[in-house]
Structure formats: structure tokens, C-alpha cells
């Protein structure tokens, strides 16, 4: 009997759109997908950081291009995806957090976080799926969610609400798009040390609270997300859809 063959983790010949790619998790995911062989389109609102990223990727022998994109601007995003696509892979890392006690939440903050984290993510995922369906191609669509999509958190009612919503539409879209061989999943990181989270980790009390919850006794690094992104994008995850890949160091294990 012939031995089974491990499916490939390579992404050669695939096109990938990575939003929120100017920093942090999005930037790391763009590097990971490019290293796996994908032609990456890196997108965010800041052109300067994207230009630098693409230069570094190209200098390393990878294929990449820049696209300025505001995921919260839905008509613009839909047009850009239609013009630039279809994309075999989507990794959406664009997101926003404005933390406060629930009793102090104001409507502008609620709307800003919801417009990007839910509405923007929903219609971006829809736009990429539409492009694939139109040409009859399979695909892997991923949104960066959060461990907070599975638990609650003090001062994070709005953020938790938006990430729970992402998990919901991910499951529904996975059901609808399955017949087109389009997979839809989320990656749910714990607290990851980035430029945006540095202030949290600079606070000894907050850092101690985070480290108590993470069973591996360390905070997350962007490198911890890179393998997850490549895995879900590749044929190695061909039977995984409607799922949440928790990269949380055991935070939600209790």
C-alpha cells in the first residue's frame, strides 16, 4: 500500500491580499505568505510603511505590490478588490480597539470599532469571495479575530462584541461558500507584542494580568501567527472551514 503524501504548505502561483499589512500581525502575515510562494498585495491606509515592506520583500526575492486601502470605506474596497483580484487568499488584519468600561462607551467609539471590525471585515470577505466565484476558483479567506471572540474581558465590551460577530459571519459564510470550495476561517491571537500593544505591556499591572492568563507564561509574538496563516491558506488545511484557530497560549482553555 502506498504511503499517504502530506499536502503542500506551499502557496506558489497563489495571489494573496493582506490588509492591515503596514505593521504588526498583518505585516508578519504578509511576510509569511510571501515566503510560502504567494504573490502578495499588501494593503493598509499608510503608503509609506507598505512601500518599505514591499521593498524588503522584493529584496528577499519575493513577489509583492502595494495598495493603499481603507477597509472601512466599503465602496472603495469593493472596487479595488474587483479591479485587482481575484485573490486566492485573503488575510484581513485591519482592526480597531477603543477600550473603556461598558458604562462609559460612547456612540462614536462604538461605531468606529464596529464599522471596521464587523462591517469592513464582512464586506471585504464578501468582495474577495465574489471575485473567486465569478471565475470558478477555490480560495482561503481568513480574518484576524481574537481570543476575545470566545471570552469576555474587562473594558472590552465593544471589542468583544465585534469579534464575536466576526466568528458568526465566518461560520455562515463557510456554509454558503463551501459549494464553491472557498474556505472561511478566523485566526484568534492572544495579546501579541506589537507597536500598537506596547503601551499595554509597558504597564506592569496590565502586563502581569496578561501573563497570568497565558498558560505558556509569555506574551505572544507576531511570529506565532505566521505559521497559522500559512497553514490555513494552504492545501494542508483543505478540509478546514468555518473554524477558529486559537493562537492564545491556553488563555481560553479554562
Q: Are 159 and 99 in contact (CB under 8 A)?
A: yes
* Dist. CA 163–CA 155, nearest whole Å: 14
122 belongs to the catalytic site? no
Cα–Cα distances in angstroms (integers) from residue 106 to residues 19, 77, 98, 166, 178, in the given order:
27, 27, 10, 21, 38
What DSSP designation does 156 have?
A: B
State the sign of the Cα–Cα–Cα–Cα dihedral 67, 68, 71, 77.
Answer: negative
For residue 146, give the C-alpha cell. Answer: 481574537
Q: Name the catalytic one among 159, 177, 191, 251.
A: 159
- Coil, strand or helix at 42: strand
Look up cell 502506498; give the residue: 2
Cis upstream peptide for 206 (omega within 30°): no
Residues marked as catalytic: 159
Amino acid at each position: 500500500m502506498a504511503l499517504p503524501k502530506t499536502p503542500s504548505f506551499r502557496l506558489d502561483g497563489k495571489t494573496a491580499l493582506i490588509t492591515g499589512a503596514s505593521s504588526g500581525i498583518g505585516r508578519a502575515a504578509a511576510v509569511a505568505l510571501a515566503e510560502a510562494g504567494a504573490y502578495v498585495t499588501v494593503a493598509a491606509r499608510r503608503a509609506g510603511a507598505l512601500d518599505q515592506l514591499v521593498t524588503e520583500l522584493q529584496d528577499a526575492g519575493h513577489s509583492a505590490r502595494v495598495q493603499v486601502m481603507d477597509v472601512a470605506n466599503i465602496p472603495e474596497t469593493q472596487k479595488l478588490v474587483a479591479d485587482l483580484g481575484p485573490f486566492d487568499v485573503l488575510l484581513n488584519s485591519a482592526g480597531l480597539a477603543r477600550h473603556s468600561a461598558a458604562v462609559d462607551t460612547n456612540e462614536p467609539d462604538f461605531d468606529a470599532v464596529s464599522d471596521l471590525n464587523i462591517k469592513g471585515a464582512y464586506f471585504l470577505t464578501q468582495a474577495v469571495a465574489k471575485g473567486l466565484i465569478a471565475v470558478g476558483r477555490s480560495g482561503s479567506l481568513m480574518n484576524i479575530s481574537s481570543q476575545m471572540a470566545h471570552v469576555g474581558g474587562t473594558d472590552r465590551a465593544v471589542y468583544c462584541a465585534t469579534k464575536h460577530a466576526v466568528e458568526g459571519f465566518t461560520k455562515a459564510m463557510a456554509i454558503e461558500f463551501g459549494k464553491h470550495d472557498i474556505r472561511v476561517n478566523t485566526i484568534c491571537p492572544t495579546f501579541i507584542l506589537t507597536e500598537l500593544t506596547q503601551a499595554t505591556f509597558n504597564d506592569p499591572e496590565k502586563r502581569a494580568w496578561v501573563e497570568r492568563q497565558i498558560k505558556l507564561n509569555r506574551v505572544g509574538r507576531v511570529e506565532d501567527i505566521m505559521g497559522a496563516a500559512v497553514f490555513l491558506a494552504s492545501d494542508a488545511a483543505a478540509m478546514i472551514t468555518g473554524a477558529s484557530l486559537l493562537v492564545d497560549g491556553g488563555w481560553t482553555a479554562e
